[in-house]
Amino acid sequence: MPPKALFFGAIGTLVETSEIQRQAFNAAFAEAGLDWDWDRDTYRDMLQKPGGRQRIADFADAQGETVNVDELHQKKSAIFQNRLDEGVALRPRVAEVLSSAKQHGLKLAFVTTTSSENINAVIRATHGTLQRSDFDFVGSDDMVANGKPAPDIYEMALEHLMLKPSEVVAVEDTPSSAAAAVAAKIKTIAFRGDYAEGEFEGVADEVDILTPATVGLVEEEELNFAS
């Protein structure tokens, strides 16, 4: 039986922005006069914990430096949003999954704990492919006390949409974010992002390409017949 709702758990499940994010962090550091430079390997390690503010705070502690974390993160977010103006495409076949979910009458949720500004910037950057109104619930970092991997934002989405965990399939792109969905007892599909490191624990499946079949909207045989 198909699920009643599909929860996309992070920006990276919809669009791949990790490299743009990394470049925005480094540009913000340069503007602030810091000699920090996060290369790809460093940033890949950083992504094992969600939350840009926390990454900045942890790195500052490791360097023995004191910085205004909120100000630095705001600067990074502004740079990120400006760079997104060039536009981004949805990850392969995500548009098909969204369309299929709507056709099957599923509720859709964007269960992220990034900032509202980043959410709006990403949606604008798809140039109409994605609309905020596509989702019945949109999370953000100011809605819960504890970010991922705590399950708080997932539990809020379930309550808001009046759903049981067993009625939902979640999609996450990093192990730490997936842990939040797993902790909420939701069937979770790992859709690894370009910079995601580590093993996904407790997930139902890990896929390279998201399709209506991989999230349980249609049977694989039905999908093959339709194609």
pLDDT in tens, 154-165: 999 999 999 999
The pLDDT score that the predictor gives to residue 219 is: 65
Q: How far is CA 183 from CA 7, 113, 163, in A?
A: 14, 16, 16
The pLDDT score that the predictor gives to residue 45 is: 87
In which band, very low, low, confident or very high, does the pLDDT at 190 lie, cut at 50, 70 and 90?
Answer: very high
Q: Are strands 205-206 and 107-110 parallel, antiparallel or unpaired?
A: unpaired
pTM above 0.85, yes or no: no
Residues of the chain with CATH 1.10.150.240: 18-84
Distance between CA 17 and CA 14 in Å, rounded?
9
- Give me the mean pLDDT over the 98-119 stretch: 94
Q: How far is CA 98 from CA 1, 109, 134, 165, in A?
A: 18, 11, 9, 20
Sheet with 107-110: list strands edge to edge: 137-138, 107-110, 5-8, 168-172, 187-190, 205-206
- Give me the mean pLDDT over the 184-192 stretch: 97
Higher per-residue confidence, 162 vs 85: 162
The pLDDT score that the predictor gives to residue 70 is: 93
- Give me the mean pLDDT over the 184-208 stretch: 94
Tokens of 191: 């859709």
53-84 per-position pLDDT tens digit: 889 999 999 999 999 999 999 999 899 889 88
Average pLDDT, the chain: 91
The pLDDT score that the predictor gives to residue 196 is: 85
Q: Does domain 5-15+89-226 have CATH number 3.40.50.1000?
A: yes
Q: Which CATH class is domain 18-84?
A: mainly alpha
The pLDDT score that the predictor gives to residue 224 is: 45
The pLDDT score that the predictor gives to residue 126 is: 94
125-141 per-position pLDDT tens digit: 999 999 999 999 999 99
Q: Kindly tell me if the per-residue pLDDT of 209 is higher than 50.
A: yes
Residue 68 CB partners (closer than 8 Å, separation 6+)? none
Residues of the chain with CATH 3.40.50.1000: 5-15+89-226
